[in-house]
Amino acid sequence: MILLWLLAIFLWMYLIPVLVFGLILFFPLFIFIVPIFIVLALIQYYFNRETLSKLDYTKWFGQIDTIALEKKCLVAFHPHGILCTGILIALHFQPGSTTKFAVAPLLLNIPIVGLFAEKLGCIAATELDISNALKTYSVIICPGGVPELVSEKPYTRRHGFLRIAQKMNVPILPVICQTSFFDRIPLPLENFRIWVAKMFGVPIMLPPLGWCYTWLPKPKPIKIKTFQFFEVKGNIEEERKRYYSEIV
């Protein structure tokens, strides 16, 4: 035991110059990184769902058609849009809302961005994550996904959200936003771009143009159309046709 203590003291004394040299070498880097982490911590503390739900969005958008959920459900939002502005403001960021918002899993895996997304009530848009969330909360999903974002048209070849609703025995609440908050610059090869979006989840498109050509949505009234609850009763393919025939 005494030998071990002597060895530990010797190593400690031997490593002091290394520690001092390391401190001198990395001190500039330390000074540079610490403020960044402090800023990120402050953003994480204030940029969260509770804070955003307290904002008065009518000062920017004017009229807002808010949504009051009568019961737990799977909220299907159409069309996907650039930032899903309509459903975020009309429901997700309303005071007292406990909804979860299903987003592309890739978004949650991006460093820092994923952390903020979780703080804003986002979950991965996978069958497992949505099903688990539906045990307690209502979940918002954009069935059209990236293909709908690319084409700017309803993308109706989706079955997963119907299957989840049937498995979890919850109704679907179809919601359509009738306001466009961004301008789009058209591109050719739409079918190819939709194929890429479907296969890889990557939108091939030019940057959208919002307020003053930024990513901020234009200050326009949020007009929402809410349908009756849709109950998934039988064959998924037949229910898919019935669902889209009612909303498109």
DSSP conformation letters of 119-174: HTTEEE-SHHHHHHHHTTS-EEE-TTHHHHHHHSS------HHHHHHHHHT--EEE
Q: Could you tell me if 79 and 113 lie in one domain?
A: yes
Task: Please tell me the predicted confidence (pLDDT) of residue 27.
Answer: 67
CA distance 81 to 73: 21
Structural domain of 93: 57-247
In the chain, the percentage of residues whose pLDDT exceeds 70 is 87
Task: Please tell me the predicted confidence (pLDDT) of residue 15.
Answer: 64
Task: Please tell me the predicted confidence (pLDDT) of residue 135.
Answer: 94
Q: Could you tell me if 19 and 73 lie in one domain?
A: no
Residue 174 lies in a domain: yes
Residue 23 lies in a domain: yes
Tally of domains in the chain: 2
Residue 51 lies in a domain: no
Contact 230, 174 (CB under 8 A): yes
Q: Could you tell me if 38 and 65 lie in one domain?
A: no
**pLDDT over 80 (residue 212):** yes
Task: Please tell me the predicted confidence (pLDDT) of residue 79.
Answer: 87
Q: Could you tell me if 187 and 65 lie in one domain?
A: yes
> Any alpha helices (H) in 53-143, and if so which ranges?
58-61, 85-87, 105-109, 113-119, 127-134
Contact 104, 117 (CB under 8 A): no
Find the radius of gyration of the CA atoms of the chain: 24
The overall average pLDDT reported for the chain is 85
